[in-house]
Amino acid sequence: MTAELKTAMVLAAGLGKRMRPLTDTMPKPMVPLAGRPLIDHTLDRLEEVGIKRAVVNVHYKAEAVESHINARTRARRGPFVIISNERDLLLETGGGVAKARTILGDRPFVICNSDTTWVEKESSNLASLAEAWNDDAMDSILLLAKQENSIGYAGDGDFHMATDGKLTRRKKGEETPFVYAGVSIAHPRLFENCPQDAFSLNVLWDRAVSAGRLYGFVLDGWWMHVGTSEALAEAESFIADFDAAEK
């Protein structure tokens, strides 16, 4: 049952502390990668799959993000963006989405980190994620990357995935092959009776795991975890090499 995706939430309010000193002068979503701000990589992917409207939350150096969004609008680059202002209180990933819930509507929607990007193989991973959606079985489905296809990632993975796609958490001391790639589809019911104010999406994912309603889909391509200046340089190099090999 393919999700008809028209709306997305782009999380762009973080402080970007691990990107310093770059983020001393600009918010992390505006850090350039391969000639474009990180947030453009996200918004352009959304536009490619027909997302018409996106909510972008802002907090740290919010004016820079808003100015860039306004420039995109003047240039008629989609999707149409609504700003969710978190200047007074940073609400974390879950709280940021919960604040925007009335704008996001009553149908499944995409949630994206503004600093997540990947190099695709032959098909659109966002389109494939939407095709994998099952409204009856799922509260959320996460795009996962294989560790061996991840650039700039040095952790132990995030989830175990069963043959039917159901996810369970990695236990302390374990290692799993799958890393959350910063993109998911969520049904509004995921946010029913959610915490107030600031909280992480992990709270809702753990609840969905317990209910057997959190699923995963494996990215076909190479994911870039652009979390530090070193990872940014590694991603730049990978994209340059990939582009050169494609010519």
Would residue 2 count as lying in a domain?
no
Range of the domain at 32: 7-246
Which positions ≥6 away from 182 have C-beta within 8 Å? 112, 113, 115, 116, 143
Would residue 1 count as lying in a domain?
no
The two counts, helices (H) then strands (E), for the chain are 7, 14
In total, how many domains does the chain have? Answer: 1
pLDDT of residue 1: 56
Cα separation of 17 and 23, whole Å? 7
Q: How many residues does the chain have?
A: 247
Give yes or no for residue 209 having a pLDDT over 80.
Answer: yes
Q: Which residues of 24-37 are buried (b: 16+ CB within 10 A; e: fewer)?
A: eebbbbbbebbeeb
Distances (CA, A) of 116 to 61, 125, 160: 19, 13, 21
Q: What is the CATH number of the domain that holds 125?
A: 3.90.550.10
Give yes or no for a contact between 54 and 6, defined as CB atoms under 8 angstroms apart. Answer: no
Read off the pLDDT of residues 2-41 as tens digits, 9 standing for 90 and up.
667 899 999 999 998 888 988 999 999 999 999 999 999 9
DSSP per residue, 59-100: -TTHHHHHHHHHHHHHTT-SSEEEEEE-SS---HHHHHHHHT
Query: And the tokens for 153?
Result: 């990632």
In the chain, % of residues over pLDDT 90? 74
Read off the pLDDT of residues 60-107 as tens digits, 9 standing for 90 and up.
999 999 999 999 999 999 899 999 999 999 999 999 999 999 999 999
Give yes or no for residue 192 having a pLDDT over 80.
Answer: yes
Confidence band, pLDDT 50/70/90 cuts, at residue 229: confident
Would residue 240 count as lying in a domain?
yes
pLDDT of residue 246: 67
pLDDT of residue 2: 64
* Closest by Cα among 162, 170, 172, 181 to 225: 181
Would residue 55 count as lying in a domain?
yes
Would residue 152 count as lying in a domain?
yes
Which pTM value belongs to this model?
A: 0.93
Would residue 169 count as lying in a domain?
yes
Please provide the average confidence, as pLDDT, over all residues in the chain: 92
Would residue 121 count as lying in a domain?
yes
Would residue 89 count as lying in a domain?
yes
CA dihedral 16, 22, 23, 24 (to 10 degrees): 140
